[in-house]
Structures are given as structure tokens and as C-alpha cells.
Structure 1
Amino acid sequence: MAESSSRSCSNGSPITSITQDHLFTILLLLPIDSILSFAITCKRFRALASSDALWESICRRDWGPNTVDALNSSNLHFQHHQLPWMRLYKQVSQLDSLSIHNLTYPDTELALPCPRASHSLNFVSDYLVLFGGGCEGGRHLDDTWVAYIGKDFQKILNWQKVNSGIPSGRFGHTCVVVCDFLVLFGGINDNGSRQNDTWVGQLTCHETLGISLSWRLLDVGSVAPPARGAHAACSIDNRLMLIHGGIGLNGLRLGDTWVLELKENLCSGKWREILTYPSPAARSGHSLTCVEGTRIVLFGGRGLGYEVLSDVWVLDISESYLNWVQILYELPNIPGGVSLPRVGHSATLILGGRVLIYGGEDSQRHKKDDFWVLDISAIPSITMQPSTLNSARILAKMWRRLKATGHKPNRRSFHRACADHSGRYLYVFGGMVDGLVQPAETTGLGFDGELFLVELLLQL
């Protein structure tokens, strides 16, 4: 059969008259299955469809150019040879395990951030930036810590405390990265007061003065979302910030969706509410993650009746008519044997355009330590109307539990996580750990100050 296919390529088949550059362009328009089918037709096409140049371009198409550039940069630093892009693509699509490295050593003389939860943690310009949060005694924190990562992902980090004085101390706020700037919104202070201020932070590195972080209150005009905390947020296309839900005034959970459009150089911005029907129910402690550049994935949280949720919603901002679409599925049909409803988890975009969900807690406030990959691209089509997924094969691709090796962190919730530019390395800090006796007693809360690294296990 292969011999016959080889002859057909050399016997003047019309496709053989197409130049290699044009074939390359055509292949980049095809799904992966079609490219693999094309590769088995003859030796010439197999060589083209298996080339590193083509698969690097496919990775750029499917993962984004920033991810590929970051992978190339780290590869040059460590190994100095061409990445096997076809093998890498396959490994990422079939990812089933990760490794955890402890980056916290309490016995060191280095200064460390104190234990906390409901803070913010961001990766920006090769630095980790940690701000605020709540700590023991029900107090908020107003400190900011910065640590340089660079290319050495597993080193002991040297945290530096940056005293900026603003924004005011808070917990349950959100902070996202837009064009190497930090954009922060909302949060709750010690008195239970909700905020609705929007701040822009810029990290600066001086040869003589060291690291500084400057914040300024963003001019958003007269319209802003109602004050809140424990909401969710994500950045979109380096120009937008999206928020949803949270706990508003008088402890009322919210279900509204707002988008902040930032002007050039982030000199000002404009908030507008996105009104859709249907839309996700009111909740707090959930997550928003932007995948594929334009799709926002909402997962979990705690609802109006204090119930812990497991629903998944998708909002595609590239559509002219914005609409939340619920992805319905049956929990018992998900492989892995562990229930997924949770609140206070982290949901981070990782290499391959998937969402890595870690930790959180259930309705009894039992903390979790499992890792799940949520892959929206596994769903055949996301239409304007919700539909229930009953296919075990699709659900197995949509939800996949990963095996974890190495360091064993405490089970936790309301921690924070962020990924490096490649999406291969994930940093996790803080959170609440098991030890709660009575839900109403804040003194029974256990706060964690551990920083650890989660590495996707790939054979590069």
C-alpha cells in the first residue's frame, strides 16, 4: 500500500505540482487528524508533514506565538538543540503527570512572605509578584513581595518586600497581567468593606535602586462594577479584563459579568456590563480562565445557597453576539472517581491551551490536593444552546486527572497560582489548609506560606 502511494506521488498526481511552500500553507489550515492522514500518502509528504518547521508552526497556531517563543528561549538556555516539536505536541496532548518541587525552606535566613490566603500571585516580566491577602486573626495584608525567576525555574527564590503603600490592604481581590502591567480590581478589607477601585501596577528594575513597583489608580470614568470581593477575573488579548460574580454589599453573592477595555498604554479604561441570557448563577470563589485567545471558561464556586458548584460555562468574546453557554455533563460519567465540585480552587492556562485546576474545597470545607486538566477543545462544538455530554470518550478528553510526583503539599483552598510564559511551569503560593473546627470560628483557620513549583512532565 505504501509502495503504491509512493508511486502515485511520482506519477504526476495533481497535488505533486503544488510547491512545498504552498503545501506547507495548506497543511496549517487543516486539523491534526488530516495532517497525519496526509503524512501516510507517500515519502515526500511524510517528510514535509513530520518536519520540525511544520510542527513548530502548528504549535504557534494552536498554542500561541508567546508560548512557542518562551519554549524556544528556555530550550536555548538549557539544552542548545532544536526542540522536537511533533513529539512535544503529542506529549502535551496526552499529558498525564506532573512533578512538584518545594521552593520554600523556612530555615533559611532569607525574608519570606507570611502565610496567607485570598491574595494575588502573578508572573510578569520574569518576576513573581505577590500582593495582599488575608491572614490569621481575620486581618488583611497590604504588603507586596517580588521574586525574580529568570530561566532557573527550580532555584530557591529570593523574595524582596516592596513597600508601595498603595493599593490599600485587602483580600479576595483579583489581579491580572495585561501587556506586562498588573491590573487589580476590588477586594475586601478588615471591616468587611467591599472595594470597586481599579489599579494599574508597573514593575521596574533599576541597576542601583533594585526592584520597584509603582501603582496608580486607573481612570475609568463614572461607570464601574459594584463593589465586591471573592470574584473571578482573567485578562483577554492583552487589552481586556473580565470579572464575574463575587460577594457584594451585605454579603450578597453576585452573578454579573463586566469587561474593562483598556486604552493604549493603560492610561485609562472603560467598564461595561455584559448582559446575556442565560448566564452563570451568582457565586463566589470560582475561576475564570481565557483559552484560545478569546474563550473564557468559568468553573465552580459557591452559590447563593452556599452549595459548592461543578458547572462549566464558556463565553466567546470573538462572537458578535456575546452569550454564556453552559457545558452540561454528568459527574458520574467522568473518569477518575473523584468528585469535582469545588470552591477556592485555582484554574490556570497551561501549555497546550488547557486549564489546570488544582485544590479547592467541597461543601464540608474539606480541602483537596488533586490536579485536573479541563480541555474545552475536546468538545466537538460549542453552540448557542447548552447540550449534555453523555459520551464517555469525550468526557475522558474534557476532564483528565493528572498523577503528581515529588513534593507532597498540604491540601489547600483559596491559594493562588500562576504560570510562566511557556505554560510548562506553575507556581502555587499560600492558601487555607485543613484544621477548621467550626466554620464560624475564624481562629480555627490554618493559613499556609508554602511556595511550590508544578512542572508538566515532558521528555524534551
Structure 2
Amino acid sequence: MKPVAETEHLDSFSIAISKKGHLMASNPPFSSSSSSSSSSSPRPSIAQLSNDHIISVLLLLPIESVLSFSMACRRFRSLASSDALWEPICRRDWGGAGAVDALVASFSPQERLRISWRRLYAQVSHLSSLSCRRLSCNSGAFPSPRASHSLAFVSDWLVLFGGGSEGGRHLDDTWIAYVGNGCNRALSWQHINSGIPSGRFGQTCTVLGNYLVLFGGISDNGDRLNDTWIGETFYEGQDMRIAWRLLNVNSVVPSPRGAHAACCVADCRMVVHGGIGLHGLRLNDTWILNLSDDFRSGRWHQINNVQSLPPPRSGHTLTWIGGTYMVLFGGRGSGYEVLNDVWLLDIGIANSEWKELKYELYGLPSEMPLPRVGHSATLVLGRKILVYGGEDSQRHRKDDFWVLDVGALPRFQTVGLKKSPRNFWKKLQVEGHHPLYRSFHGACTDKSGRYVYIFGGMVDSIIQPAEPSGLTFNAELHQIELVLQL
């Protein structure tokens, strides 16, 4: 008798075969005979299917079912360990061919020869450590120290805009640096001028394809802004330039704000949530910007009639995880309390839905990140959200790295609140040059999700006799790499 778990997964395989047959009824995959399409013909057993057909069916199943299926017999064990199966699984589960192709491009020629896609999938799934290094700047100009700025990755380039600096000055400069495949240890920053927005900090700058969408922020005078800018990128050989222009939007727009959160949804929409509005009021409204006419115009609309909303906050993060889903984490609430709650937003249904992802701790509170504001959250390889830094209610800054397993979210929704997955959060070990404790920095990931870049922020420093505190604006650039053993 087969174990119950194995039987269930083989049943899943049978169901997948039925689905595959239904979807391909016009060209049944199970036999080359024309009579096989007849409804009276018996279906062949699994053992009679070709390897290509078995792989096409396995790609319809979750990983747990694939692994259980591999235990059925020696032939299936060999097939379920092959790169012919695991490379398309990686492409399926890691955000499509583009991310995987970018990952392969980041490997050296020798590393590419050693790739085992099953082992690589396992390492990413059980990610436990990161490697950090500080990138030096080649001779020439470079960005001044700042915090609450924007840092984005567009077509192998880092794009830095604005932020607050020493003396309370809010910057209006745009800087770019070519990154390439992530192997460079020194970068050259270039300062560019091209119809840039006014100086501000606490804005968001979101990447949609080859465009940047900048919204809101706080001006030198403390005014909250609600203007929307489009940065169109152009490439000439190894050079890049950006043309900023004010986006033509409808009369219904989000109220002015700063320290809000935003993320893209595919390459045509942006979602904005919360922030600090007029008179210091913290917000909890959610807006969607739909772009049209080749990004020449856009239309804002607010998500209404939502039963459950996250409490008002600022300094939080909103991260797109694929499809119509995004994850909100942390921030500072209306009573200046610092939060560490997690919310899932789905905008793909008739009435968009917020759902708080509560979970039980099985041991110490160290199983999840402590409350924080001014942190960063980026989607990395393997569809995991990497959270770094931030500060608590006493403005004690942090230097820890955590990953939230996006793959656990569907299981979470299925099993309910009292049986939440143990590996919802995981703290990572750090190798190499560890960044300073910091908050309100900029962070972004490259196309592969293997490298994360962190620039600037507020850092703790040694207190000098003339300084009332050890708070310092920073201008360091760090590269964070997911440790993979090929």
C-alpha cells in the first residue's frame, strides 16, 4: 500500500492529466494514433506516457506533488531530477523567462557549466545567507549623502532621485550608474539634468517597463505634494538619459502626501497606499493609477467599499508579488506606534480585498521581524520579499535581513489563521562587509533578483563633541547577493 501522502500526490497527477487532456482535446498528447481521440478509447497508464508528456503534466503541479511523484519508481525518479524538468519549473516559479535568463547571464561561463537546476531551486527555496560588499565609486562626481530618496533599477542602470540631506535641504537631482551583470566592484555615477521634478523627499519612484513613475513627496517648505511624473529612459550605446515630464491625469487624484508606499502591477499600473497627508495626518487610502496612450496620460481611481483596511501609517512598504497581489509590511501608525503587521492586497477581484496575514508564533518573538519604519522590502529571486533595516519607536536603527516566503501565502490562505506556516519569516545570515544600521535608505533589485542594491539613508555613527546625536546622512552603496553554491 502506498503512503497516504504519496497516493494523494499521484491522484493530483491523474487530475493534471485530465486537465491537460481537456485543454488539448483538439490534439490529444497520449497517442499518435488518430483513433486515440475517440471518447471510447481507453486512456493509457502513466507508465505508457512519453517523458515529454510526463514533464508537461508535472509542470501543472505544485513542487510537493512533483517530489512525491519522483518516489513512485526508478524511471520517474530519474525524470523528476532532470534539468529538462527543473529549468522550466524555475522559469514557472521565479517570475518567467526574463528573470531566469538574467540570472544565467549573471553567472560566469564556468558556473553555467555547473548549473544543476534542481539543486539551484532547492538552494533558493531554503535561502539562508547573503553576501554583502560595499561598492566603491570611480573618480568623478557622486551623489551627496541623503535619506528618504528614490532608488530604482532600469535596464541594467541604477537611477537615484531626490531625498533629504544635511541642513534640511530637499534635493532635486537625478543620478545614474551602470551596473550590468552585477560583477562590477566599482561604479561611475553620472549626474543628469532633463526636466527634473522639484526637490522633495519621501516620494515614491516605481519602475514600469522602461519608464519611471514618480509620485508625491514633501517639499522644502514642508508642503505635501500629489503630482505625478513620468521619467522616460533612452539608450544610446552605453549611455542612458531620462526625460522627466508631468503626467496628464484626470481631475480625481490622491490627496497630497509623503512617506507613502507604492509598487507596480505588471507594466501598466501603479498602486499607492497611505503616507503622511496634510497637517501630519496619517492615511490608509489605496489608489490605482492606470496608464495609457504610451504613458502620456493616466487615470487615478480610489479603491472603495473595502471591508477591512490596514490602519493608517507612513514609512511602510508595498511590494508586488505577481499577478494582482501585493504585500504591505510595517510602518508608523497614527499614534506614532511602530508596526510589524503583514497585509495582502488583491486588486484582481470585483471588490479589491485587503486581508491581514495573522500568524501564531511557535516559540520566541525572534521568529518574525520586530516592528519597524523606514525599512526596505524588495522582491528577490524565488519570489521572496527581502526586508532590511528600518528603525523602531525609539529611533534605534536596525541592520537585520529577513525574507518573507511568498510561496507560503497561498497555503496560509488555505489552512487558515490557526495553522499558519512555520517558515513564514526567516532571518538570514550575512557574510562580508555588513552595512551599518540604517533607516530611510533606498533599495532595489536587478532583473534576476539575485542582487539587491542599497544606497544612503540615516545611519548611527560615533557621536562627536559638537553633535547632539549620532545621526548621520549616508552616501554608501552596497550590493547584497543571494549566496548560491553552484
Show the counterpart of 1:218: 247
Residue deviations 1:42-96 (CA, integer Å, cap 9, x gap)? 2221222111121111111111112112112223666442631111110001000
Q: How far apart in 2 are the matches of 1:293 and 1:59?
A: 17
SS in 1 for 2:339: coil
Residue deviations 1:224-261 (CA, integer Å, cap 9, x gap)? 11110000000111111001000011111110000111
Residue deviations 1:113-152 (CA, integer Å, cap 9, x gap)? 1100000000001100000000011110011100001124
Residue 451 in structure 1 maps to residue 483 in structure 2: no
Kindly indicate whether the alpha-carbon contact (under 8 Å) linking 2:164 and 2:170 is maintained by their aligned counterparts in 1: yes
Q: How far apart in 1 are the matches of 2:208 and 2:468?
A: 35
Q: How far apart in 2 are the matches of 1:217 and 1:436?
A: 42
Which residue among 104, 113, 120 is the counterpart of 2:136?
A: 104
CA-CA distance at 1:222 after TM superposition: 1.1
Residue 419 in structure 1 maps to residue 445 in structure 2: yes
CA-CA distance at 1:302 after TM superposition: 0.1
What does residue range 80-91 of structure 1 map to in structure 2 within 5 Å?
Answer: 80-81=112-113, 83-91=115-123
Q: How far apart in 2 are the matches of 1:230 and 1:104?
A: 29
Kindly indicate whether the alpha-carbon contact (under 8 Å) linking 2:460 and 2:470 is maintained by their aligned counterparts in 1: no
Show the counterpart of 1:75: 107
CA-CA distance at 1:339 after TM superposition: 5.1
The runs of 5 or more residues in structure 1 that have no matched partner are 3-11
CA-CA distance at 1:265 after TM superposition: 2.1
CA-CA distance at 1:442 after TM superposition: 10
Please tell me the residue identity of whatever aligns with 2:102.
A
Kindly indicate whether the alpha-carbon contact (under 8 Å) linking 2:361 and 2:367 is maintained by their aligned counterparts in 1: no
Q: How far apart in 2 are the matches of 1:277 and 1:90?
A: 39
Residue deviations 1:332-369 (CA, integer Å, cap 9, x gap)? 84564675100000000000001000000000000000
Which residue among 189, 192, 195 is the counterpart of 2:219?
A: 189
Which deviates further from its counterpart, 191-200 or 15-24? 15-24
TM-score by length of 2: 0.85
What does residue range 371-386 of structure 1 map to in structure 2 within 5 Å?
Answer: 371-379=401-409, 381-383=411-413
SS in 2 for 1:53: helix
Show the counterpart of 1:9: none
Change (3 A) 1:46 1:103: same
Kindly indicate whether the alpha-carbon contact (under 8 Å) linking 2:368 and 2:425 is maintained by their aligned counterparts in 1: no
The runs of 5 or more residues in structure 2 that have no matched partner are 3-42
Kindly indicate whether the alpha-carbon contact (under 8 Å) linking 2:104 and 2:112 is maintained by their aligned counterparts in 1: no
Q: RMSD of aligned C-alpha atoms?
A: 2.6
CA-CA distance at 1:434 after TM superposition: 2.0
Give 1 or 2 for the bigger CA radius of gyration.
2
Q: How far apart in 1 are the matches of 2:212 and 2:114?
A: 34
What does residue range 310-321 of structure 1 map to in structure 2 within 5 Å?
Answer: 310-321=340-351
Which deviates further from its counterpart, 412-421 or 268-277? 268-277
CA-CA distance at 1:435 after TM superposition: 5.3
TM-score by length of 1: 0.90
Kindly indicate whether the alpha-carbon contact (under 8 Å) linking 1:177 and 1:235 is maintained by their aligned counterparts in 2: yes
Q: How far apart in 1 are the matches of 2:410 and 2:237?
A: 52
SS in 1 for 2:435: coil
SS in 1 for 2:243: strand
Q: How far apart in 2 are the matches of 1:334 and 1:202?
A: 48
Kindly indicate whether the alpha-carbon contact (under 8 Å) linking 1:119 and 1:132 is maintained by their aligned counterparts in 2: yes
Please tell me the residue identity of whatever aligns with 1:54.
L
Which residue among 62, 67, 71 is the counterpart of 1:36?
A: 67
CA-CA distance at 1:111 after TM superposition: 1.6
SS in 2 for 1:41: coil
Show the counterpart of 1:294: 324
Residue 263 in structure 1 maps to residue 292 in structure 2: yes
Number of aligned pairs? 442
Kindly indicate whether the alpha-carbon contact (under 8 Å) linking 2:151 and 2:444 is maintained by their aligned counterparts in 1: yes
Please tell me the residue identity of whatever aligns with 1:150.
G
Which deviates further from its counterpart, 146-155 or 297-306? 146-155
What does residue range 62-211 of structure 1 map to in structure 2 within 5 Å?
Answer: 62-65=93-96, 66-75=98-107, 79-81=111-113, 83-104=115-136, 109-207=139-237, 210-211=239-240
Kindly indicate whether the alpha-carbon contact (under 8 Å) linking 1:331 and 1:339 is maintained by their aligned counterparts in 2: no
Which residue among 17, 25, 40 is the counterpart of 2:48?
A: 17
CA-CA distance at 1:382 after TM superposition: 5.0
Residue 279 in structure 1 maps to residue 278 in structure 2: no
Show the counterpart of 1:249: 278
Which deviates further from its counterpart, 372-381 or 144-153? 372-381
Which residue among 239, 245, 261 is the counterpart of 1:232?
A: 261
Kindly indicate whether the alpha-carbon contact (under 8 Å) linking 1:173 and 1:229 is maintained by their aligned counterparts in 2: yes
Q: How far apart in 2 are the matches of 1:332 and 1:117?
A: 36
Show the counterpart of 2:84: 53
Q: How far apart in 2 are the matches of 1:442 and 1:232?
A: 31
Q: How far apart in 2 are the matches of 1:173 and 1:121?
A: 11
CA-CA distance at 1:432 after TM superposition: 0.4
Please tell me the residue identity of whatever aligns with 2:234.
T
Q: How far apart in 2 are the matches of 1:87 and 1:351?
A: 14
Change (3 A) 1:142 1:279: same
Change (3 A) 1:430 1:30: same
SS in 2 for 1:431: strand
Please tell me the residue identity of whatever aligns with 1:428.
I
Change (3 A) 1:71 1:444: closer
